[in-house]
Amino acid sequence: MTDPHWKVRSRIIHNRRHKDVFGSPGSPTYSTTTYRFDRTASLLDVIEGREPGYLYTRWGTNPTIQELEQGLALLENAEAALAFGSGMAAISSTILAHGRKGVVCIGDLYGGTQELLVNHCQLLGIPVSFLAQDRLDQLDATLTTPGMLVFCETPANPTLALVDLADMAHRSHDRGALLMVDNTFATPINQQPLTLGADLVVHSATKYLGGHSDLTAGALMASAELVATVAPWRKNLGQLLAPETATLLSRSLKTLPLRVQQHNQNALAVASAMEDHPAVRRVLYPGLPSFPQHTLVKRQMKGFGGMVTIELDGGREAAATVADNLRLFLLATSLGGVESLVSQPCATSHHGISQQERERQGITDGMLRLSVGLEDPADLIDDLNQALAAL
């Protein structure tokens, strides 16, 4: 256990649930699936909740996974956390547990989340509504039943548009709704939605929390009561991550504060350089004074993140030309790793959305989304300059 007075960097490095009997500073990986008991009475004490213990890993009772969850809760200042096999697993279980009376989506959401809500949740009879940022005056009329779920992603992909979380929490709670926030882009280092009034926070831990493009995982952080409601859904849907993945993710969390700090610095340097480039029509980055919501950014976020979106004249062909000519940036989906990545939203994350809907969301064919990694920022800027010269 860690000292609650320590800062987050110290606490996450020393996150432990028990001491290793051999003195290892790290915890072993318990790949155990089941646990033996000396007596039937002892087994029943664990099953029926009279005594703590481990029974079956799919239920989440595994030392490696529970230590990870302790660290995840620590990062978001939450009472409890659940680890999942993917970000979509975390989102789907949370919606099934807390959104059955209806889900109201604010702003732009990840394409996979939209697919879940439209193609599956509505099929199950769960009411789903979408409100653009400029239609928030309709929120009260949309929250018709107490116990509904308001869901937002901030910053959003790929425009990096923000939702005012303190205001959204207040408005949601006034109507008896819970507020759920996808905090993947910001990370808990740059933004903590629970401290701003949100009720539930989800992450694709595949991204910044994992940080090395070598694992797939998800996370939910919330009060112990709200987490306990989600746990049976995770158990019965079989959405738990493997203990080996939990070990990798716990490893990554120890360097998260340092990695995010460097992501922030590199992205700001890249965004500033691209804002001055004559071939770039527009740069979207929360840390730039030109960003439309920069005032809200400074109030709500502690850092500006590692994602930068640039928009080029020449549309889809110009963006593809630049992406194809980059040498240091890798042409790949996903984000949040130590290596820098580039993707064209109209060809990847938002490929399945109509052009009309993309335009409504402010996503043009000339956009390139940059996941700025931990390379030397001068090399990243040079790479972008030489690729832009291909135009």
* pLDDT score at 164: 97
Contact indicator for 2, 51 with CB cutoff of 8 Å: no
Nearest to 347 by CA among 313, 390, 318: 318
Q: Which of 253, 284, 317 is the last residue of a domain?
A: 253
Q: Which of 253, 272, 296 is the last residue of a domain?
A: 253
Residue 353 and residue 383 in one domain: yes
Nearest to 369 by CA among 41, 42, 110, 133: 110
Residue 243 and residue 287 in one domain: no
Distance CA 343, CA 366 (A): 11
Q: What is the CATH number of the domain that holds 346?
A: 3.90.1150.10
Residue 187 belongs to some domain of the structure:
yes
Averaged pLDDT score across all residues of the chain: 93
DSSP 173: H
User: pLDDT tens digit string along 132-174?
Assistant: 988 998 999 999 999 999 999 999 999 999 999 999 999 999 9
Residue 146 and residue 241 in one domain: yes
Residue 279 and residue 134 in one domain: no
Residue in this structure with the two tokens 């010269």, named with its chain if needed:
389
* pLDDT score at 18: 77
- Range with lowest mean pLDDT among 16-20, 74-78, 256-260, 293-297: 16-20
Q: pLDDT class for 197, splitting at 50, 70, 90?
A: very high
Contact indicator for 293, 44 with CB cutoff of 8 Å: no
Distance CA 159, CA 177 (A): 27
* pLDDT score at 377: 98
Q: Where are the beta strands (DSSP E) in 127-278?
A: 128-131, 149-153, 178-182, 200-204, 218-222
What's the domain count of the chain? Answer: 2
Residue 52 belongs to some domain of the structure:
no
Burial 70-92 (b: 16+ CB within 10 A, else e): bbbbbbbebebbbbbbbbbbbbb
CA 237 remoteness from chain centre: 21
Query: 371 - beta bridge partners?
Result: 307, 341
What share of the chain in percent tops pLDDT 70?
A: 96
Residue 236 and residue 344 in one domain: no
Helix (H) or strand (E) holding 360: helix 355-360
Nearest to 26 by CA among 73, 67, 77: 67
Rg (CA), the chain: 22
* pLDDT score at 3: 79
Residue 45 belongs to some domain of the structure:
no
Residue 246 and residue 276 in one domain: no
CA 137 remoteness from chain centre: 27
Distance CA 261, CA 144 (A): 42
> How far is residue 29 from each of residues 36, 65, 66, 240, 255, measured CA to CA in Å?
18, 9, 11, 15, 19
Peptide bond into 158 cis (omega under 30): yes
Distance CA 383, CA 189 (A): 28
135: Cβ contacts below 8 Å, ≥ 6 apart: none
* pLDDT score at 23: 80
Q: Is the pLDDT of residue 360 over 80?
A: no
Helix (H) or strand (E) holding 71: helix 63-75
CA 244 remoteness from chain centre: 21
| pTM recorded for the entire structure | 0.94
Residue in this structure with the two tokens 């609650």, named with its chain if needed:
4
Average pLDDT of span 82-90? 98
What share of the chain in percent tops pLDDT 90?
A: 82
**Parent domain of 234:** 8-30+62-253
Contact indicator for 307, 371 with CB cutoff of 8 Å: yes
User: pLDDT tens digit string along 49-79?
Assistant: 899 999 999 999 999 999 999 999 999 999 9
Distance CA 79, CA 223 (A): 5
Residue 247 and residue 261 in one domain: no
What is the number of H-type helices and E-type strands within the chain? 15, 12
Residue 18 and residue 160 in one domain: yes
Residues acting as catalytic residues = 58, 110, 182, 207
Q: pLDDT class for 203, splitting at 50, 70, 90?
A: very high
Residue 273 and residue 160 in one domain: no
Mode of pairing for the β-strands spanning 341-343 and 367-371: antiparallel
Helix (H) or strand (E) holding 284: strand 280-284
* pLDDT score at 347: 58
User: pLDDT tens digit string along 226-276?
Assistant: 999 999 999 999 999 999 999 999 999 999 999 999 999 999 999 999 999
Structure tokens at 176: 């008896």
Residue 197 belongs to some domain of the structure:
yes
Q: What is the CATH number of the domain that holds 214?
A: 3.40.640.10
CA 100 remoteness from chain centre: 22
Residue 242 and residue 279 in one domain: no
Residue 3 belongs to some domain of the structure:
no
Q: Which of 226, 253, 280 is the last residue of a domain?
A: 253
